[in-house]
């Protein structure tokens, strides 16, 4: 039995881990590296194993940093089965088509640039929309939380609710080879307990080996209620000053959670009923529709709202903005609007246009509600940059900046430690975290051997 690491090693993106047991190869996630240009280039590197030899991929959830290299895996010869939950399958479809479309656009942009310099090739896309479509043929059985799936003799997988985004799971693997047994638990991304839409992560089973994320391994989140207060204050204050509120938003989960809270705010009289909210992200709109199709994943109180026929995401002044022309029209709104657009880390997408038009205005407010990786535009603004470059233009930062971290979809240090303790494991591999964070987290783990694997490193189990 062997465990090797092929992404999100001493880094937050590119999750990809390989289990070899009883002559089979099972991949847990196949995510994209994101954040900086150097990281983006790593995506095109060889995987460190032959995709044609992989029998199965177990996908923990549909975030791009966990599923984003699947089309590349298929393009390079993978012919096995991809197993995930029904909700993750629908979300992954959305996420991968969007990613493939972006890859194609960026490749076209590069080749136009290369042509201007007299070069014939700017390099093709990492994968195309066609590759993404091919990938969907590999999606096989749907995993149901808590129900074991036989992958092969000596290899059984159980998906456990991780409470991170819709359909997200930890994966518990029971391995057997030549009479030896070993259980390996992959945390996937773990959710932050007590949020309104999803259930809390389930109590993990006792496991011999644990591979766990450490995104917030060195931080405690602010509690949720003051974060909701801060959101309402940011909106109310910005409207008083006459400006707009821009919220760079992750399309999955965060966008729906914010809609949920804005609706609650209006219903409780804490926000004005005349609030105009623009969800300026075709992907977030589609994701909201997928959410509406999977109430089985919900926390009981929200599931109840649905049963009563009430939509937890609907508010009176909500506008879904799919068309580019409508998105551009938002640039002329001077105040009184909440604009939610992707990408969450401002590395791409429509939010950059809204930042360009609002960041320099002292009546505007920018609200960050998610993780901002090193090297991203979001991180520069969060870190207090006086000016930033957007589309080649220097834009001074005069808007009021809020960083509200209580909405995190990730468990914080205390939650991660509590989760780990329940696994009673004696061997822990830390992944999916920045190295300094990981070290701080490792120092707090007791009674377990801790490894922080490097890319390509392999371990006998
Ligand atoms: Zn995630």
pTM across the whole model: 0.90
Tell me the pLDDT tens digit for each residue of 28-55: 999 999 877 777 788 999 999 999 999 9
CA–CA gap between residue 404 and residue 378 (Å, rounded): 13
CA 433–ligand 1 middle distance (angstroms): 12
CA 164–ligand 1 middle distance (angstroms): 7
**What's the alpha-carbon Rg for the chain, to the nearest Å?**
22
Residue 340 and residue 249 in contact, taking contact as beta carbons nearer than 8 Å: yes
CA 189–ligand 1 middle distance (angstroms): 5
Does the pLDDT of residue 97 top 90, yes or no? yes
User: Confidence band (pLDDT; 50, 70, 90) for 122?
Assistant: low
CA 93–ligand 1 middle distance (angstroms): 15
CA 241–ligand 1 middle distance (angstroms): 35
CA 432–ligand 1 middle distance (angstroms): 10
> Parallel, antiparallel, or unpaired: how do β-strands 155-161 and 169-177 relate?
antiparallel
Q: Which residue has the tokens 């994966």?
A: 171
CA 32–ligand 1 middle distance (angstroms): 12
CA 188–ligand 1 middle distance (angstroms): 8
CA 63–ligand 1 middle distance (angstroms): 5
CA 424–ligand 1 middle distance (angstroms): 24
CA–CA gap between residue 56 and residue 72 (Å, rounded): 15
Tell me the pLDDT tens digit for each residue of 426-455: 999 999 999 999 999 999 998 899 999 999
pLDDT of the residue at 222 = 84
Tell me the pLDDT tens digit for each residue of 324-371: 999 999 999 999 999 999 888 898 889 999 999 999 999 999 999 987
Neighbours of 74 (CB within 10 A): 24
| Share of the chain residues as helix, strand and coil, in percent rounded to the nearest 5 | 35, 25, 45
CA 11–ligand 1 middle distance (angstroms): 13
CA 448–ligand 1 middle distance (angstroms): 25
Residue 19 and residue 57 in contact, taking contact as beta carbons nearer than 8 Å: no
Provide the percentage of residues in the chain whose pLDDT is more than 70.
99
DSSP line for 269-295 = TSS-TT-EEEE--HHHHHHHHHHHH-G
CA 10–ligand 1 middle distance (angstroms): 16
Does the pLDDT of residue 121 top 70, yes or no? no
Tokens of 353: 């246009």
CA 170–ligand 1 middle distance (angstroms): 11
pLDDT of the residue at 40 = 78
CA 213–ligand 1 middle distance (angstroms): 10
Does the pLDDT of residue 392 top 90, yes or no? yes
CA 340–ligand 1 middle distance (angstroms): 19
> Parallel, antiparallel, or unpaired: how do β-strands 180-186 and 169-177 relate?
antiparallel
CA 61–ligand 1 middle distance (angstroms): 7
CA 377–ligand 1 middle distance (angstroms): 19
CA 70–ligand 1 middle distance (angstroms): 15
CA 249–ligand 1 middle distance (angstroms): 14
Tokens of 143: 């995993």
pLDDT of the residue at 284 = 92
pLDDT of the residue at 81 = 98
Those residues with Cβ within 8 angstroms of residue 339's Cβ, 6 or more apart along the chain or in another chain: 244, 245, 246, 247, 278, 280, 330, 333, 354
Nearest to 399 by CA among 411, 386, 412: 386
CA 252–ligand 1 middle distance (angstroms): 9
b/e string for 299-310 if b means 16 or more Cβ within 10 A?
A: eeebbebeeeee
CA distances from 370 to 167, 221, 255, 258, 345 (A): 19, 11, 11, 11, 8
Tell me the pLDDT tens digit for each residue of 57-73: 999 999 999 999 999 99
Neighbours of 274 (CB within 10 A): 10
Nearest to 60 by CA among 110, 8, 11: 8
CA 334–ligand 1 middle distance (angstroms): 34
CA 253–ligand 1 middle distance (angstroms): 10
Around ion ligand 1, residues with a beta carbon closer than 5 Å are 63, 189
CA 201–ligand 1 middle distance (angstroms): 13
CA 120–ligand 1 middle distance (angstroms): 38
Question: Cα angle vertex 456, ends 69, 2, to 5°?
Answer: 100
CA 62–ligand 1 middle distance (angstroms): 7
CA 316–ligand 1 middle distance (angstroms): 30
CA 29–ligand 1 middle distance (angstroms): 11
Tell me the pLDDT tens digit for each residue of 374-383: 889 999 999 9
CA–CA gap between residue 329 and residue 421 (Å, rounded): 52
CA–CA gap between residue 296 and residue 256 (Å, rounded): 16
CA–CA gap between residue 425 and residue 209 (Å, rounded): 6
Nearest to 213 by CA among 276, 162, 176: 162
Residue 251 and residue 310 in contact, taking contact as beta carbons nearer than 8 Å: no
């Amino acid at each position: 039995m062997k465990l090797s690491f092929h992404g999100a090693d001493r880094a937050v993106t590119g999750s990809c881990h390989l289990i070899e047991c009883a002559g089979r190869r099972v991949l847990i996630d196949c995510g994209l590296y994101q954040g900086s240009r150097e990281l983006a280039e790593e995506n095109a590197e060889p995987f460190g194993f032959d995709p044609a030899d992989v029998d199965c991929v177990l996908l923990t959830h549909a975030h791009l940093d966990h599923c984003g290299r699947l089309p590349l895996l298929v393009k390079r010869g993978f012919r096995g089965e991809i197993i995930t939950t029904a909700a993750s399958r629908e979300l992954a479809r959305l996420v991968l088509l969007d990613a493939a479309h972006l890859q194609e656009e960026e490749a076209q942009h590069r080749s136009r640039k290369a042509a201007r310099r007299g070069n014939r090739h700017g390099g093709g896309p990492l994968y195309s929309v066609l590759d993404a479509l091919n990938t969907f043929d590999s999606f096989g059985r749907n995993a149901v939380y808590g129900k074991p799936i036989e992958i092969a003799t000596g290899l059984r997988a159980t998906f456990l609710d991780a409470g991170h985004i819709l359909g997200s799971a930890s994966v518990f693997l029971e391995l057997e080879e030549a009479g030896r047994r070993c259980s390996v638990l992959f945390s996937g991304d773990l959710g932050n307990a007590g949020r309104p839409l999803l259930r809390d992560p389930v109590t993990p089973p006792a496991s011999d080996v644990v591979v766990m994320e450490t995104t917030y391994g060195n931080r405690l989140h602010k509690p949720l209620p003051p974060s909701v207060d801060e959101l309402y204050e940011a909106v109310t204050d910005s409207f008083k000053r006459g400006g707009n509120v821009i919220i760079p938003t992750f399309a999955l989960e965060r966008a729906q959670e914010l809609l949920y809270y804005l609706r609650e705010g209006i219903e409780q009289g804490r926000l004005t009923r005349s609030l105009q909210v623009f969800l300026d992200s075709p992907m977030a709109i589609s994701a909201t529709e997928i959410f509406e199709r999977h109430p089985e994943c919900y926390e009981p109180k929200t599931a109840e709202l649905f049963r009563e026929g009430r939509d937890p995401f609907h508010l009176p002044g909500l506008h879904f903005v799919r068309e580019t022309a409508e998105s551009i029209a938002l640039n002329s709104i001077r105040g009184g609007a909440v604009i939610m657009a992707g990408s969450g880390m401002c590395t791409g997408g429509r939010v950059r246009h809204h930042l360009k038009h609002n960041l320099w205005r002292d009546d505007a407010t920018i609200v960050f509600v998610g993780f901002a990786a090193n090297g991203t535009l979001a991180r520069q603004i969060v870190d207090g940059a006086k000016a930033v470059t957007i589309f080649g233009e220097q834009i001074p930062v005069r808007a009021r900046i809020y960083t509200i971290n209580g909405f995190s979809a990730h468990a914080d240090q205390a939650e991660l430690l509590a989760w780990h303790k329940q696994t009673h494991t004696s061997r822990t591999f830390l992944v999916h975290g920045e190295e300094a964070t990981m070290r701080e987290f490792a120092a707090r783990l007791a009674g377990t051997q801790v490894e922080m694997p490097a890319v390509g490193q392999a371990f006998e189990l």
